[in-house]
C-alpha cells in the first residue's frame, strides 16, 4: 500500500476514493463552525451543527451542510442535547467534537455514535493537573518542581513570604481542573497580582505551587497512531495575556536543539499513552528557559485551539496536516500515513505565521455595531481593505490578514468571554514578547470597525496584550 506525507498527493488520493467513501457518515458539532473547517479537507460530504450563525459559514465548501442551532448554554453538549431529533434523522456513524466529556460520552453511546476524539475516561487522567505532574515524574520527563497546598495554606502566607521564598514570582494551578486555555492557572509576578489571589482561590481545594520559569511559552501537538508510532508536529509559541489566558500562537524559527528535546519527550509520552489505550492528538504546553531547557507543564488530551491555523500552515508547505492524521486514526485509515516522512517534514520545514483570537475580555456585554465581511484584507494607507473570500487554505501575503471565525452581524450582543473573531497572518506576529506593529495595528483597526462607539480605553482593552 502506498503511504503519504505530501498533501498534493494525498489530496489526489482523496479525490480518487471520493473522500474515503465517507459521504454523510460524519457529524461535526461546534460552538463556532470555523473550528471544524479542516474536516472538509477529507473531501467528504458531512453535516455540521454549530451554535453560532456566523458570517464566515458562507465561505465553507458547498458539500458541507451547515445547521445553526443556538443553544441555551455556549457549549458542545448543549448543542448536541438540543438537536437529538436532527441527529437521529441524519443517521451519522461518527461524531466529531473538539473534546469528550462524561456527559458527551454518555449521549454518544445513547445515539450509537463513534467519537472521533479520545474518550473521557482517558482524557481526564491526562488533563488533571496533579495526575499529569505525577505521570511526568514517573516517566522522568522534564518538568517544573511543584508542591501541593490547600487553599488555606496558601492564604496563610503573606506577600513577604512569597517575596522571600519565591522572589515574588510563582505559578499556581488548580489541581482538580481539566479545562485548558489557562483558566486553571494564576501567575503571581508582583504584589498587585498577589492582591487578586483570594478571589482566584474561591471554590478551589488543592493548588499546585510551581516554580516560575522566566522564558518562552511553547506548545506542540503529538498524535498516537494505531500501530503505536507517534507523529510530532511543529513547535509554536503560545500567546498568553496578562491574566494568563491563551489568545493565539506565533510561528517562528525554532532551534534544532529545542526541537530535539521536544521530539524526544513527546515521543516518549506518546508511547506511554499508546500503552494505556490512548489514540489520536494530544497537545503539550511547555516553557523554554533562558538556558535552552524545556519544561513540560500541561497536557491537553483533545483537539487544541491552534489546530485550524496549524493545519493551514501545514497546507502552505504541502504537508498533510496533523489534524487530518488524527481523523484517519479514528477512522482506522492511518496506515495511509508515512509517520517517519511526516516527522521529518514537520521537523525540516520552517513555519512562519500567527493568529490572534479576539474576545470580549471585559466584564460587560458589548454590541457589534458594524458587520464586517470575513475574508482576506489588504493593508492600504492606514486601513485594511477587503480583497476576496478566504478561510485560510492559501496563505495571505505579508501585507494581508485573514479575518474569520465567529464573526456576527451588527446588532449582536457578545457576552463576556465570547469570541469576536480571529486574525490569521503568514508572517510572525511577535517582536520579542510583544505583538508586532502590523499585528497590533490590524487588531486595533478591526476592533474599532466592529465597535466604533466604545471609548478608547474600552476599545484598547479588547486588543490582547502579553
- Average pLDDT, stretch 399-424? 96
- Return left, alpha or beta for 244; rule: phi > 0 is left, psi -120 to 50 is alpha, else beta: left
Task: Read off the pLDDT band of 180 (50, 70, 90).
Answer: low
Closest by Cα among 104, 129, 130 to 117:
104
Confirm or reject CATH 3.30.9.10 for domain 145-211, answering yes or no: no
**264-302 CB burial, b ≥16 within 10 A, e <16:** ebbbebbebbbeeebbbbbbbbbbbeeeeebbbbbbbbb
Yes or no: say if 249 and 236 are a contact pair by the CB < 8 Å rule. yes
Domain ranges of the chain: 10-116, 124-129+214-350, 145-211, 354-461
Q: Do strands 383-388 and 246-251 pair parallel, antiparallel, or not at all (unpaired)?
A: unpaired
User: pLDDT tens digit string along 355-366?
Assistant: 999 999 999 999
Closest by Cα among 261, 213, 219 to 239:
219
Q: In angstroms, what CA-CA distances link 107 with 98, 302, 327, 355, 417? A: 15, 18, 21, 34, 27
Yes or no: say if 39 and 25 are a contact pair by the CB < 8 Å rule. no
User: pLDDT tens digit string along 307-319?
Assistant: 999 999 999 999 9
Pick the CATH number of 124-129+214-350 from 2.40.50.140, 3.30.470.20, 2.60.40.1120, 2.130.10.10: 3.30.470.20
User: pLDDT tens digit string along 93-125?
Assistant: 999 999 999 999 999 999 999 999 999 999 988
Q: Please tell me the distance from the alpha carbon of residue 380 to that of residue 377, in angstroms, as a whole number.
A: 9
- Average pLDDT, stretch 134-140? 93
Q: Please tell me the distance from the alpha carbon of residue 100 to that of residue 121, in angstroms, as a whole number.
A: 9
Q: Is the dihedral of CA 447, 453, 456, 458 positive or negative?
A: negative
Q: In angstroms, what CA-CA distances link 287 with 25, 218, 220, 280? A: 40, 6, 11, 23
Q: Please tell me the distance from the alpha carbon of residue 218 to that of residue 196, in angstroms, as a whole number.
A: 26
- Average pLDDT, stretch 180-196? 81
User: pLDDT tens digit string along 3-35?
Assistant: 999 999 999 999 999 999 999 999 999 999 999
Pick the CATH number of 10-116 from 3.30.200.20, 3.40.50.2300, 3.40.50.720, 3.30.365.10: 3.40.50.720
Amino acid at each position: 500500500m502506498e503511504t503519504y506525507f505530501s498533501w498534493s498527493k494525498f489530496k489526489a488520493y482523496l479525490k480518487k476514493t471520493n473522500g474515503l467513501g465517507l459521504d454523510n457518515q460524519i457529524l461535526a458539532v461546534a460552538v463556532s463552525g470555523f473550528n471544524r473547517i479542516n474536516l472538509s479537507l477529507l473531501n467528504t460530504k458531512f453535516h455540521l451543527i454549530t451554535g453560532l450563525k456566523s458570517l464566515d459559514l458562507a465561505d465553507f465548501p458547498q458539500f458541507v451542510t451547515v445547521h445553526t442551532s443556538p443553544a441555551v448554554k455556549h457549549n458542545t453538549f448543549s448543542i448536541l442535547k438540543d438537536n437529538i431529533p436532527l441527529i437521529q434523522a441524519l443517521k451519522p456513524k461518527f461524531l466529531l467534537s473538539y473534546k469528550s466529556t462524561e456527559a458527551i460520552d454518555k449521549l454518544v453511546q445513547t445515539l450509537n455514535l463513534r467519537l472521533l476524539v479520545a474518550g473521557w475516561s482517558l482524557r481526564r487522567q491526562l488533563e488533571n493537573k496533579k495526575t499529569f505532574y505525577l505521570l511526568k515524574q514517573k516517566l522522568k520527563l522534564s518538568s517544573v518542581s511543584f508542591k501541593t497546598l490547600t487553599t488555606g495554606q496558601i492564604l496563610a502566607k503573606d506577600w513577604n513570604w512569597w517575596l522571600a521564598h519565591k522572589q515574588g514570582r510563582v505559578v499556581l494551578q488548580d489541581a482538580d481542573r481539566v479545562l485548558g486555555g489557562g483558566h486553571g492557572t494564576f501567575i503571581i509576578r508582583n504584589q498587585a497580582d498577589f492582591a487578586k489571589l483570594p478571589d482566584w482561590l474561591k471554590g478551589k481545594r488543592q493548588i499546585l505551587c510551581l516554580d516560575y520559569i522566566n522564558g518562552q511559552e511553547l506548545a506542540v501537538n503529538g498524535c498516537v497512531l494505531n500501530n503505536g508510532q507517534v507523529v510530532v508536529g511543529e513547535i509554536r509559541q503560545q500567546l498568553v495575556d496578562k491574566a494568563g489566558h491563551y489568545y493565539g500562537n506565533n510561528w517562528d524559527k525554532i532551534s534544532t536543539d529545542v526541537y530535539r528535546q521536544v521530539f524526544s519527550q513527546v515521543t516518549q509520552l506518546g508511547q506511554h499513552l499508546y500503552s494505556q489505550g490512548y489514540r489520536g492528538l494530544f497537545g503539550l504546553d511547555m516553557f523554554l528557559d533562558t538556558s535552552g531547557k524545556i519544561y513540560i507543564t500541561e497536557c491537553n488530551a483533545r483537539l487544541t485551539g491552534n489546530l485550524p491555523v496549524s493545519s493551514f500552515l501545514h497546507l502552505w508547505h504541502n504537508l498533510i496536516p496533523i489534524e487530518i492524521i488524527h481523523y484517519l486514526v479514528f477512522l482506522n485509515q492511518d496506515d495511509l500515513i508515512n509517520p517517519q516522512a511526516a516527522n521529518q517534514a514537520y521537523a525540516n520545514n520552517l513555519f512562519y505565521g500567527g493568529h490572534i483570537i479576539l474576545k470580549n475580555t471585559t466584564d460587560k456585554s458589548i454590541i457589534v455595531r458594524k458587520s464586517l465581511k470575513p475574508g482576506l484584507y489588504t493593508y492600504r494607507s492606514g486601513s485594511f481593505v477587503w480583497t476576496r473570500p478566504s478561510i485560510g487554505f492559501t496563505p495571505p501575503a505579508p501585507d494581508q490578514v485573514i479575518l474569520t471565525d465567529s464573526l456576527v452581524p451588527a446588532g449582536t450582543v457578545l457576552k463576556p468571554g465570547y469570541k469576536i473573531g480571529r486574525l490569521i497572518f503568514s508572517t510572525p506576529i511577535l517582536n520579542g514578547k510583544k505583538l508586532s506593529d502590523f499585528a497590533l495595528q490590524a487588531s486595533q483597526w478591526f476592533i474599532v470597525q466592529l465597535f466604533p462607539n466604545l471609548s478608547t480605553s474600552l476599545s484598547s482593552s479588547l486588543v490582547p496584550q502579553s
